[in-house]
Amino acid sequence: MAGEEIEASPCHFSDNGQEPNTASVSTIIHRWKWWFMVAINTALLLIGQSGAAILGKFYFDQGGKSLWMATLFQSVAFPVLSLPLFFFPHPQNLPKHSSIQTLTIVYFFLGILLAGDNLMYSYGLLYLPVSTYSLICASQLAFNAIFSFFVNSQKITLLILNSVILLTVSASLIAFHSDEKTRKASSKEFIIGFLCTIVASAGYALLLSLMQLTFEKVLKRETFSVVLEMQIWTSLVASIVCLVGLFASGEVERLKEEMEGFERGSLVYVLTLVGTAMCWQVCSVGVVGLIYVVSSLFSNVVSMMSLPLVPAAAVILYHEKMDAVKVVALLLAILSFGSYIYQNYLDQNKLQQPEVHANSSPDNFRSERR
């Protein structure tokens, strides 16, 4: 994509044939910078998300039992990377925020939704093999298409409809897969894990759509500081909700016993939780970066690129069986992802064509990518 655009926009010369058109050179440079930022943030998202899923399953497999603890560590590490980034210099010459009251309500609601969504993901990791969990998580792409249609007024094309159908078939194969040898949980626990992961996938897609709506209708801007601010406050609210749940459920009283009974020892127990928290934070920074550079909906699409990574890691690390049903489900999910990405590629090309020679500033180029 980038290569084709660059070849189509060579440096032009003035009438005397000697002076290059610096605007064209600047456009090329800014485009390469844009792709570089997309690549960096994509890598952070994929590494963080895959690592968090693997470590989260390791926590439960080795004797971890606290759902609220596993949920808390999905958001509690936000000060480690988000706060330092917030104090980096960035443009501020934009309109002021909405009222404090409005922002408080929005961040509080999104934070509660994030906490509930993370709890559902924890149930999924507890009861499902990590490869199955990852394949079911792919359903968030279908929910992304649905919520973006109703919440963000985005069109559902034949390619996106094809993507939704393929993901529905993929998830159905996993749901009705009856090979008990591939699971450690009972049938009832498998159903609970399956349903919770589906709900979590829908919740995350809804969360990103609502974030996009907040940027457009409430904040009316999507600068780096605004994106980070939303990440920080929603994570803070989610962490407080998880702490309340941890104490209210009584799980906090069993944490010492859980740590001492961890199969790999107390030190590994602590390192697993810390590693999980850091992986989720790295993933969050990638999400924030993609929201800033492209959009919140696009970050959801990119997160699905981890789909082949987690099952492969599960086979190597956990010796999980990748039988024919899982392989077919994986292939259908990858085809669905390809269909969705190709539709995004076509949409972006349509947006770029009228403005390819218009403006070469970073802000204008970034707006073209949407």
Asked whether residue 203 carries a pLDDT value surpassing 70, the answer given is yes
pLDDT in tens, 23-58: 577 778 877 887 888 888 888 888 998 899 899 999
Burial class (CB in 10 A: 0-12, 13-18, 19+), 261: middle
Least confident of 109-123, 131-145, 250-264: 131-145
Asked whether residue 355 carries a pLDDT value surpassing 70, the answer given is no
Supply the pLDDT for residue 146. Answer: 86
Asked whether residue 97 carries a pLDDT value surpassing 70, the answer given is no
Asked whether residue 254 carries a pLDDT value surpassing 70, the answer given is yes
Asked whether residue 140 carries a pLDDT value surpassing 60, the answer given is yes
Supply the pLDDT for residue 212. Answer: 81
Supply the pLDDT for residue 280. Answer: 92
Supply the pLDDT for residue 354. Answer: 56
Supply the pLDDT for residue 108. Answer: 96
330 vs 40, higher pLDDT: 40
Please name which of 205, 361, 357, 220 lies closest in space to residue 296, comparing C-alpha atoms: 205
**How confident is the model over 278-291, as a mean pLDDT?**
85
Supply the pLDDT for residue 196. Answer: 96
pTM for the full predicted model: 0.79
Spatial contact of 286 and 34, defined as CB atoms under 8 Å apart: no
Q: Give the percent of the chain with pLDDT over 70.
A: 77
Q: How confident is the model at residue 116 (pLDDT cuts 50, 70, 90)?
A: very high
Dump strand ranges (E) for the chain: none
Q: Give the percent of the chain with pLDDT over 90.
A: 29
How much of the chain is in helix, strand and coil states, percent to nearest 5? Answer: 75, 0, 25
State the amino acid at position 11 in one-letter form: C
pLDDT in tens, 63-77: 999 999 999 999 999
Task: Give the angle 51-57-59 at the CA atoms, nearest 5°.
Answer: 100
Q: What is the mean pLDDT of the chain?
A: 79
Supply the pLDDT for residue 119. Answer: 96
Handedness of CA 163, 53, 198, 231 (dihedral sign): negative
Q: Which residues are paired to 13 by β-bridges?
A: 20
Asked whether residue 111 carries a pLDDT value surpassing 90, the answer given is yes
Asked whether residue 180 carries a pLDDT value surpassing 80, the answer given is no
Within 10 Å of residue 195's Cβ, how many Cβ atoms?
Answer: 16
Domain count, the chain: 1
Half-sphere exposure of 34 (CA within 13 A, CB side): 26
DSSP designation for 13: B
What is the per-residue DSSP string for 301-331? HHHGGGTTHHHHHHHHHS-----HHHHHHHH
Supply the pLDDT for residue 13. Answer: 43
**How confident is the model over 328-345, as a mean pLDDT?**
79
Q: Which domain holds residue 164?
A: 2-368
Supply the pLDDT for residue 92. Answer: 52
**How confident is the model over 211-235, as a mean pLDDT?**
82
Phi, psi of 303 (to 5 degrees): -60, -25
Phi, psi of 20 (to 5 degrees): -75, 155
Measured between alpha carbons, how far is 300 from 219 in angstroms, rounded to an integer?
Answer: 21
Supply the pLDDT for residue 240. Answer: 97
Supply the pLDDT for residue 308. Answer: 66
Phi, psi of 22 (to 5 degrees): -65, -25
Q: How confident is the model at residue 295 (pLDDT cuts 50, 70, 90)?
A: low
Measured between alpha carbons, how far is 266 from 315 in angstroms, rounded to an integer?
Answer: 26
Spatial contact of 163 and 141, defined as CB atoms under 8 Å apart: yes
pLDDT in tens, 145-172: 888 888 888 777 888 788 778 877 877 7
Handedness of CA 271, 140, 123, 210 (dihedral sign): positive
Token pair of 127, please?
């009861």
Token pair of 2, please?
């980038």
